[in-house]
Structure 1
Amino acid sequence: MKLEKLDYFQPFIVVVAILAFLLMGYIGSFNYRFEDPLDLEVILTIVFACAVFTIGAFIVKYKINVENTKEINFLSEKLLVGLVIVALILQALNLVLIGGIPLFNSVLKSNATTNIWRVAYPLFLIMINVLLAKYYDRKYLLLVLLGAVIFGLNGYRTSVLGILGSSFITLFYLEKISRKVGIAFIAIIVVGIMAIGYIASQSIATQHWTLNPVELVFYRAAFTLEVFERILPLSGTTHGHILSMIFSSGSPRTFIGQYVLSDNVCLTSTLFGPVCLDFGLIGLTVQMLFMGAFLGMVHKLKKGIGVGIYSIILTHTLIWIETGPTDIMIWFLYLIGFILILINFNYIKLNKD
């Protein structure tokens, strides 16, 4: 099999990304923390989670067949372009109503995820990927870049990664990624994420960072894994409270900051932190088995708009490796994947071999 024919974005890429994040955090724990390096329990728990995820993805890959997929025809090109533009206008309006650019002001950033943004971001994310998947045209890449810039002004790296990462994966499956385009896209993603993270850190008036953009990436990985390390002794003690907050009201990440560090801060706690706090090792096992199987199933439906849907879900699962699955908006994307599975249910067959 030629290298360019490999499916780099199978669900198993999540395991590769998790282990890469663990390595970055372990290196960062030596250079930028004042405590001991990551505990062995952290490493073993993450390796266990990767093994469970792999089992779920493996079962679907080799035991489930999809004979065909149902084409969805009511989404016209004009409708999709119109909705993409509406999303961009909404985010521009959001910036106007906030009163500035959150990327350069930490106070504005704390108020940037308004209800308008909660509509604009998923609308843009879904529609741009479906547009690329159904009606690819090189001119639509300008909309991708414009969206990354406008939503990046909110000061959150995850928005830029979500837009550029999912678009890149969609283009990959459409076989529209040449070597030059691929290198350029990856360079834009890496530089964009590091730049936003660095600029945002410098805009925090109460903190004074001396790390350069590369060092900051390793520091963030180490700190997030340290939060998970502190969660492990507390496993199962919140009894589903974080899960209930995700689907109701409140800020799960702020709650984790208060509960784990006794400080009113918003914390990322890895893909594993929230579920471990709520349900312990059993909850972690169920979550990782579900994610592996679910991504494996949506991966098998990556035809037509399914390409865009899979790209979105995979990208945000990769983002969750650091941030944790605490955003109801992203679980909405999982819901879209579930609807895709239901639409194609009659085409899904169990492999009896």
Structure 2
Amino acid sequence: MSFSTRKIDFFHPYIIPVAILIFLVMGYIGSFNYRFENPLNTQTILTIIFSAALFAIATFITSKKFTIEKTKEINFLSEKILLIFIGIALVLQSINMVLLGGIPLFNSVLKANATTNLWRVAYPLFLILINILIAKYYNRKYLLLVLLGALIFGLNGYRTSVIGILVSVFITMYYIGKISRKFGIIFVIIIALGGLGVGYIASQSIATQTWTLNPVELVFYRAAFTQEVFEKIIPLAGTTHGHILSMIFSSGSPRSFIGNYVLHYDVCLTSTLFGPVMLDFGYIGLTIQMLFMGTFLKIIHSLAKKGIGIGIYSIILTHTLIWIETGPTDIMIWFLYLLGLILIILALKKD
């Protein structure tokens, strides 16, 4: 039985506020169990709940106000062209690791320099095209390409790449009706093992790391630590006056800047979906961001009825879920939002 035949849409944008609340609970549990002196404070908890509520409200209002009855499929991407460029993406990432001189997953120094311009081309190229390929020309043999891509990009040392590829393809397959109960369970296990494995191996490769956590404990620790960073950001709300946003769309490392600004030492930090905008623009900025994301994802969701639309929605939803921990500081992922905007414009022109 296909999950997609059921009345519940498991990957409706409402999954974002649900995931935010789950992440909050994980962080609260983690803040008790590891190196944190105190659990998350009330203001942090209420701010995260407030953010989730804003997203849900925007999604609900948009679902009532925005509908497109018919969408036309974009047909200029043939199966052969997609396969060629997917192959190019895998070759580019392989060349990237050769030029780095090793496998970043097993070397924290290499990992720090692994997100090169080659990777910035290869990853989004593979991510976008593999989802479009699955959505438009599904064939079970193409799942081997999915696993190969997850492996090659996973060797870069970032679990978000593995999760981004596997989860987005899972969502795409869900919407085209290719996820049976048994297959879904197997795929979820692969996603969990891939994400946990890459995250754990990469953490063990850090030369200065002295603590020892198992892969599951590491997940709760990361959730707690990231939310602790956000807790420290709240008193500094609005003090960077848009500097982080400007860094995202220019040069520099927003995460390293946040590490220096908030914790006062040179470290690259994830600060939740809410941290960067809170530092830049305070609660007003946070409100605008969450309302925008709720509205935008719901519009893209309404267009996710055929091949390319399904693929783009799956990618944007997946990386918004990832942003709940990491924060929206990657220009490459904002480029995916731009693809969504193009999809909306094309749909409105055809409507």
Taking structure 1 as the reference length, the TM-score comes to 0.97
Deviates more, 1:228-237 or 1:188-197: 188-197
| Matched position secondary structure for 2:235 | helix
> Take 2:115 and 2:4, find their aligned partners in 1: how far apart are those partners?
44
Contact 1:133 1:308 (C-alpha < 8 Å) held by counterparts:
yes
1: distance between equivalents of 2:35 and 2:29?
Answer: 10
Q: 2:314 aligns with which of 296, 311, 315?
A: 311
Q: 1:288 corresponds to which residue?
A: 290
Matches within 5 A, 1:333-348: 333-346=336-349
Does 2:194 match 1:192? yes
Q: Give the counterpart of 2:330 among 327, 331, 334.
A: 327
Cα offset, 1:346, TM superposition: 3.6
Q: How far off its partner does 1:304 sit?
A: 2.2
Q: 1:148 to 1:43 in 2, by over 3 A?
A: same
Q: Where do 1:1-353 residues align within 5 Å?
A: 4-302=6-304, 303-346=306-349
Q: Does the aligned pair in 2 maintain the 1:55–1:292 contact within 8 Å?
A: yes
Determine the structure 2 residue equivalent to 1:351. none
CA drift of 1:313 comes to: 0.1
Cα distance between partner residues in 2 of 1:346 and 1:85: 33
Deviation at 1:215, TM superposition (A): 0.4
CA distance in structure 2 between the partners assigned to 1:195 and 1:79 by the alignment:
33
Measured in 1, the distance between the counterparts of 2:215 and 2:157 equals 15
CA distance, structure 2, for counterparts of residue 67 and residue 347 of structure 1: 11
Percent identity reads 72
Q: SS of 2:6's equivalent?
A: helix
The 2-side partners of 1:181 and 1:115 are apart by 36
TM-score (norm 2): 0.97
Q: Supply the AA of the counterpart residue of 1:340.
A: L
CA deviation profile, 1:301-341 (whole Å, cap 9, x unmatched): 00221000000000000000000000000000000000000
Q: Cα deviations across residues 122-179 of structure 1 (Å, max 9, x unaligned)?
A: 0000000001111111111000000000000001000000000000000000000011
Alignment partners' CA distance in 1, 2:281 and 2:5: 41
Q: 2:4, 2:177 within 8 Å by CA — same for their partners in 1? A: no
| Cα separation, 1, equivalents of 2:19 and 2:128 | 23
User: How much has 1:51 moved relative to structure 2?
Assistant: 1.0
Asked if structure 2 preserves the Cα contact closer than 8 Å seen for 1:202 and 1:208, the reply is: no
Q: Secondary structure at the match of 2:250?
A: coil
| Aligned-partner Cα distance in 1 for 2:285–2:35 | 29
Q: CA deviation at 1:46?
A: 0.7
Q: What one-letter code is carried by the residue in structure 2 that aligns with 1:305?
A: I
Q: Cα offset for 1:3? A: 8.3
Matched residues in 1 for 2:5 and 2:47: separation? 32
**Structure 1 unmatched ranges of 5 or more:** 349-353
Shift of 1:60: 1.3
CA distance in 2, matches of 1:34, 1:123: 40
CA RMSD of aligned residues (A): 1.2
In the TM superposition, what is the alpha-carbon distance from 1:2 to its structure 2 partner? 9.8
- Please report how far the alpha carbon of residue 65 of structure 1 lies from its aligned counterpart in structure 2 after TM superposition: 1.2
One-letter identity of the residue aligned with 1:344: A
Aligned equivalents of 1:104 and 1:145: distance in 2? 20
Distance 1:140 1:324 in 2: 31
CA drift of 1:347 comes to 5.2
